Structure 1
Amino acid sequence: MIRTLNELVDLVDGRTDETIDVPGFARSHGTTEYHLRRMFATLAGVPFSEYVRRRRMTLAATDLVSSDTSLLDIAVCYGYSSVEAFGRAFRSVHGASPSDVRTHGGPFATQAVLRFRLTVEGSRPMDVTITDRPAFVLAGHAAEVPLVYQGVNPHIQQHIASIAPAEHARLKTLNNAEPAGILAVTDGNPPDAPEGTPITYLHGVAVQEDSTVPADLSTIAVAPGAWATFRSSGPFPAALQETWAATATEWFPSNPWRLRPGPTFVRYLELTESRADAEIWMPVERA
Structure 2
Amino acid sequence: MDMLKGMNQALNYIEENLDNTIDLNEVATRAFCSEYQFKRLFAFLSGITISEYIRRRRLTLAALELKDSQVKIIDIALKYGYQSPDAFSRAFQNYHGVTPSVSRKPQQTVKAYPRMTFQLTIQGGNEMNYRIVEKAAFKVVGVKYEVEMVDEILSPTYENMITSISDAKMSELESFSNHEPSGIVHVSANYSESSDGKATFNQYIGAVTTEENDDYSTLEVPALTWAIFEVEGDWLQVEKHWQRIYSEWLPTSSYELIEGGPEILASKDHKSEIWVSIKKK
TM-score by length of 1: 0.85
Residues 42, 169 of structure 1: alpha-carbon distance in 2 compared, 3 angstrom cutoff: closer
Give the conservation status (yes or no) of the 8 Å contact 2:8–2:31: no
CA distance in 2: counterparts of 1:82 and 1:137, whole angstroms: 47
Partner of 1:255: 253
Partner of 1:224: 223
Give the drift of 1:262: 1.5
Give the conservation status (yes or no) of the 8 Å contact 2:185–2:266: yes
CA distance in 2: counterparts of 1:29 and 1:124, whole angstroms: 26
CA distance in 1: counterparts of 2:242 and 2:195, whole angstroms: 16
Q: Percent identity?
A: 31
CA RMSD of aligned residues (A): 2.6
Residues 174, 153 of structure 1: alpha-carbon distance in 2 compared, 3 angstrom cutoff: closer
Give the conservation status (yes or no) of the 8 Å contact 1:228–1:281: yes
Give the drift of 1:22: 1.1
SS of match in other structure, 2:59: helix
**Which shifted more, 239-248 or 12-21?**
12-21
State how 1:125-164 maps to structure 2 within 5 Å. Answer: 125-145=127-147, 153-160=158-165, 162-164=166-168
Partner of 1:177: 179
Give the conservation status (yes or no) of the 8 Å contact 1:47–1:193: no
Partner of 1:238: 236
Gaps of 5+ in 2: none
CA distance in 1: counterparts of 2:174 and 2:105, whole angstroms: 65
**Which shifted more, 82-91 or 11-20?**
11-20
State how 1:71-82 maps to structure 2 within 5 Å. Answer: 71-82=73-84
Partner of 1:214: 213
Residues 201, 43 of structure 1: alpha-carbon distance in 2 compared, 3 angstrom cutoff: closer
Give the conservation status (yes or no) of the 8 Å contact 1:101–1:107: yes
State how 1:11-50 maps to structure 2 within 5 Å. Answer: 11-27=13-29, 30-50=32-52
Give the drift of 1:91: 1.3
TM-score by length of 2: 0.86
SS of match in other structure, 1:114: coil
> What letter is aligned with 1:215?
D
Residues 20, 122 of structure 1: alpha-carbon distance in 2 compared, 3 angstrom cutoff: farther
Give the drift of 1:145: 4.8
Give the drift of 1:168: 4.6
CA distance in 2: counterparts of 1:218 and 1:126, whole angstroms: 33
CA distance in 1: counterparts of 2:221 and 2:45, whole angstroms: 27
> What letter is aligned with 1:241?
E
Give the drift of 1:192: 8.9
Gaps of 5+ in 1: 271-275
The total of aligned residue pairs comes to: 273
CA distance in 1: counterparts of 2:257 and 2:264, whole angstroms: 14
SS of match in other structure, 1:130: strand
Residues 191, 145 of structure 1: alpha-carbon distance in 2 compared, 3 angstrom cutoff: closer
Give the conservation status (yes or no) of the 8 Å contact 1:65–1:105: no
Give the drift of 1:200: 3.0
Give the drift of 1:174: 3.4
